């Protein structure tokens, strides 16, 4: 979950909506030509039971939240999903990413889809990657609206095709989430794991997230004045942040703006990655 790269892609799309140019029609660098409303690839949804109030102390340990999350996923398989969208007066830009890390198979796969909806219509870009973790050999496929399918590889040689970092478990997002002013509302069960549910509401609850974390500053830089905010955090007894969701509405230059973020981790210890169907084509065309 390379969140800096993801946000850079999305902000480039927002620049298009702000009038810096039209939607791209020919591929250049995949890291700067995307944008869109996220539609995550199909996946098994986590099931959460209703949070039950409890008398036990559920105070969030913000100081160790990111470290506990990273430690819990350091040596196990997992699946992560990241989606982020920005609604602007001239359209919507969003990005969705699904990653599977299979430690047992030394394999990591990723599908990232970006969408830009504006007066030019809808433009989508799909980037899929597979990395053989043992030697970092990576194959990538890029395709989308008005894009010819392009394959690339580093073939273990370190080219512009970057390997998936299996140890990147979104710690920067989790660390930023810890800065939100959370209120514990009870316990629930997600994927068979007991979690504590935290909620936050109101512009003040996300002030530190926005102003004092680099991720929050990047995520919310299109919102000049925050008028409403709602967030949810689910933290498992195993230390894994199962969900961090945030919706912020406000204005910029008097125009309505909305930002939505959803980060989830699931199938901890059981995630299984499969080789993509396009891998043979990639090997033949790179």
* Separation between Cα atoms, residue 219 and residue 76, nearest integer Å: 29
248-268 confidence digits (pLDDT tens): 999 988 999 999 999 999 999
pLDDT score at 58: 63
* Separation between Cα atoms, residue 57 and residue 101, nearest integer Å: 33
How many percent of the chain have pLDDT more than 70? 78
More confident residue, 63 or 141: 141
| Residue in the block written with tokens 């979690």 | 195
Q: What is the pTM of this model?
A: 0.82
Domain ranges for the chain, please list them.
3-284
* Separation between Cα atoms, residue 263 and residue 261, nearest integer Å: 7
Residue 100 main-chain phi, psi, to 5 deg: -125, 125
Alpha-carbon radius of gyration of the chain: 19
117-132 confidence digits (pLDDT tens): 887 788 888 999 999 9
64-94 confidence digits (pLDDT tens): 999 999 999 999 999 999 999 988 888 888 8
pLDDT score at 47: 53
pLDDT score at 27: 34
Tokens of 182: 């959370």
């Amino acid at each position: 979950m390379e969140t800096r790269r993801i946000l850079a892609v999305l902000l480039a799309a927002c620049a298009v909506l702000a009038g810096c140019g039209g939607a791209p029609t020919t591929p250049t660098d995949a890291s700067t030509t995307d944008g869109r409303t996220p539609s995550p690839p199909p996946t098994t949804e986590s099931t959460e039971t209703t949070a039950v109030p409890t008398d036990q102390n559920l105070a969030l340990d913000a100081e160790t939240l990111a470290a506990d999350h990273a430690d819990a996923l350091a040596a196990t398989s997992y699946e992560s999903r990241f989606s982020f969208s920005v609604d602007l007066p001239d359209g919507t830009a969003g990005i969705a990413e699904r990653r599977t890390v299979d430690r047992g198979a030394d394999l990591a796969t990723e599908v990232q889809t970006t969408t830009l909806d504006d007066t030019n219509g809808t433009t989508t870009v799909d980037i899929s990657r597979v990395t053989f973790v043992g030697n970092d050999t990576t194959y990538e496929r890029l395709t989308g609206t008005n894009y010819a399918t392009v394959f690339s590889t580093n073939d273990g040689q370190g080219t512009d095709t970057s390997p998936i970092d299996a140890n990147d478990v979104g710690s920067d997002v989790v660390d930023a989430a810890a800065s939100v002013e959370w209120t514990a509302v009870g316990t629930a069960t997600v994927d068979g794991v007991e979690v504590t549910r935290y909620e936050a509401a109101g512009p003040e609850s996300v002030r530190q997230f926005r102003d004092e974390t680099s991720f929050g500053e990047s995520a919310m830089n299109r919102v000049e004045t925050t008028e409403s905010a709602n967030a949810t955090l689910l933290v498992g007894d195993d230390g894994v942040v199962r969900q961090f969701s945030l919706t912020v509405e406000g204005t910029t230059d008097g125009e309505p703006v909305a930002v939505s973020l959803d980060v989830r981790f699931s199938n901890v210890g059981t995630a299984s990655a499969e080789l993509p169907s396009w891998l043979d084509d990639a090997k033949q065309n790179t």
